[in-house]
């Protein structure tokens, strides 16, 4: 049960920093809150990680670690 709760918490945080539009974010958050399948949540987390906003490209505040990560992605 703790694993399920932790995955839901991670997914919710990733939803809020994803590149999805607000309506899609709401739909995903509803799905996460109602999901009781740890494996499905794990897959959703991977998809959410792949769809995070690029802090550098969008001009948000970022750290030197963000810059290194960005460079690794584009090389």
14 close to 44: Cβ distance less than 8 angstroms = no
pTM of the model as a whole:
0.73
What is the 8-class DSSP label of residue 18? Answer: B
The pLDDT tens digits of the residues spanning 36-67 come to 999 999 999 999 999 998 766 666 666 788 77
* pLDDT the model gives residue 66: 73
- Reference 50, options 28, 20, 12, 6; nearest CA is 20
Which is it for the CA torsion 41, 47, 53, 54, positive or negative? positive
The domain tally of the chain equals 1
Domain of residue 27 covers 2-74
More confident residue, 70 or 31: 31
Residue 11 CB contacts under 8 Å (≥ 6 apart), including other chains: 28, 32, 41, 44, 45, 48
């Amino acid at each position: 049960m703790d694993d399920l709760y932790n995955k839901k918490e991670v997914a919710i945080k990733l939803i809020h920093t994803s590149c999805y539009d607000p309506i899609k974010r709401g739909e995903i958050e509803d799905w996460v809150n109602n999901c009781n399948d740890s494996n499905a949540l794990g897959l959703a987390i991977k998809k959410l990680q792949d769809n995070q906003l690029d802090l550098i490209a969008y001009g948000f505040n970022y750290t030197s670690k963000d810059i290194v990560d960005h460079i690794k992605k584009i090389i």
